[in-house]
Amino acid sequence: MMNINSSDILTLDNNNEYVVVSKIVYNESEYIYLVNINDNSDIKFAEIENENGMTYITEINTNEIDLLEQLMPLFAKDSKEVLTHLKENND
């Protein structure tokens, strides 16, 4: 089982590398917001699933609007908290 955190870099099945911008928990599931490190217009949202000692990243389909509407404010809040922490450490 792999522990995934914000700012980790993951290589997905498409062989592109993505940075974990944000990680949240919603309804007892973990979700991540990913940005391609070579093309920041390539963003993905995914669920982290752990089964039998293995970690799986399952991309959320963009037509899952109801789920994305719930997740987006949580990702925004988490990102704001990360920026606040960074600012405090740089002052």
**Stretch 60-76: mean pLDDT:** 93
Q: Is 46 a domain residue?
A: yes
Greatest alpha-carbon pair distance for the chain in Å reads 44
**Stretch 10-16: mean pLDDT:** 94
Q: Is 4 a domain residue?
A: no
Number of structural domains the chain divides into: 1
d(CA 90, CA 77): 20
Which residue range forms the structural domain that includes residue 27? 9-90
Q: Is 30 a domain residue?
A: yes
Q: Which residue has the tokens 């719930």?
A: 70
In Å, how far from its chain's centre is CA 15? Answer: 17
Residue 42 above 90 pLDDT?
yes
d(CA 85, CA 89): 6
Q: Is 28 a domain residue?
A: yes
Q: Taking the model in full, what pTM does it have?
A: 0.86
